[in-house]
């Protein structure tokens, strides 16, 4: 049912959904490899969709780690609310990653250690991508990490304008195969 919902939402809003199927658990696992779950106090996720990365994150996290999900799509937000409503220290916001600084202030979130992103930078308007990446860089400072995936390395140049170090791993067990970018300024 989630795959059908995902496909339907893609056809309704291809610029904001960006894929026809949810990410694979293999891609989710590779995304989580960049996170030190023992020390993470706050992890944000942009565009969690149906929660594939979130599932892995919650499986591995310390129970005191705050996880904040920011999902623009209302249908995906409903799925996330149903799926994670009983999880401790999980907050779901129906909104845009462009407003991340407002959410951090509004909800008095602790220092952000990691930001995991499922956003389709290849299909987002360039000004939106720049705004999100600039605010992400400011939130993470020199000690945090930004973890995203893309289907090509085409947007590496854009992301490297905000992060000095980008480690790239390829995950072929995803449809389509994807690149994981683990980005930092350390």
DSSP notation for 135-183: HHHHHHTTT-EEEEEESSSTTHHHHHTT-SEEEEEEE-SSSS-EEEEEE
pLDDT of residue 21: 56
pLDDT-wise least confident of 12-21, 75-84, 97-106, 155-164: 12-21
Task: With CA atoms as reference, report the closest residue to 19 among 53, 43, 42.
Answer: 53
Instruction: Give the contacts of 120 (CB within 8 A, at least 6 positions apart).
Output: 15, 16, 17, 18, 19, 47
95, exposed or middle or buried, with CB in 10 Å at 0-12, 13-18, 19+?
Answer: middle
**Domain with 130 in it:** 2-184
What is the number of domains present in the chain? 1
Looking from the CA of 84 toward its CB, the CA atoms found within 13 Å total: 27
Instruction: Output the DSSP codes for 86-103.
Output: T-TTEEEEES-GGGHHHH
Instruction: Give the contacts of 141 (CB within 8 A, at least 6 positions apart).
Output: 185
Q: How many residues does the chain have?
A: 186
pLDDT of residue 165: 97
pLDDT band at residue 11, thresholds of 50, 70 and 90? very low
pTM metric for this prediction: 0.88
pLDDT digits (tens, 9 = 90+) for 126-175: 999 999 999 999 999 999 999 999 999 999 999 999 999 999 999 999 98
Reduced to 3 states, what is the DSSP secondary structure of residue 34?
coil
Beta strands in 48-138 (DSSP E): 66-71, 90-94, 114-117
User: What is the Cα–Cα distance from 150 to 163, expressed in whole angstroms?
Assistant: 16
The rounded percent of the chain whose pLDDT value lies above 70 is 88
Q: Report the chain's mean pLDDT, rounded to a whole number.
A: 89
User: What is the Cα–Cα distance from 133 to 121, expressed in whole angstroms?
Assistant: 10
| CATH number of domain containing 143 | 3.40.50.150
Average pLDDT over residues 112-126: 93
pLDDT band at residue 122, thresholds of 50, 70 and 90? confident
> How many Å separate Cα 96 from the centre of its chain?
12
């Amino acid at each position: 049912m989630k795959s059908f919902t995902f496909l339907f939402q893609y056809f309704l809003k291809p610029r904001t959904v960006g894929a026809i199927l949810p990410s694979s658990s293999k891609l989710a696992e590779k995304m989580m490899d960049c996170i030190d779950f023992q020390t993470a106090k706050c992890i944000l996720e942009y565009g969690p969709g149906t929660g594939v990365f979130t599932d892995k994150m919650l499986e591995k996290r310390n129970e005191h780690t705050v996880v904040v999900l920011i999902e623009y799509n209302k249908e995906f937000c409903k799925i996330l609310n149903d799926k994670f409503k009983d999880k401790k220290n999980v907050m779901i916001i129906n909104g845009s990653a462009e407003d991340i600084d407002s959410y951090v202030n509004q909800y008095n979130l602790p220092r952000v250690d990691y930001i995991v992103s499922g956003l389709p930078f290849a299909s987002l308007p360039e000004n939106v991508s720049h705004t999100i990446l600039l605010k992400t860089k400011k939130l993470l400072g020199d000690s945090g990490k930004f973890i995203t995936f893309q289907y090509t390395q085409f947007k590496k140049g854009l992301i490297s304008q905000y992060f000095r170090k980008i480690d790239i791993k390829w995950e072929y067990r995803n449809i389509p195969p994807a690149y994981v970018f683990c980005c930092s300024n350390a």
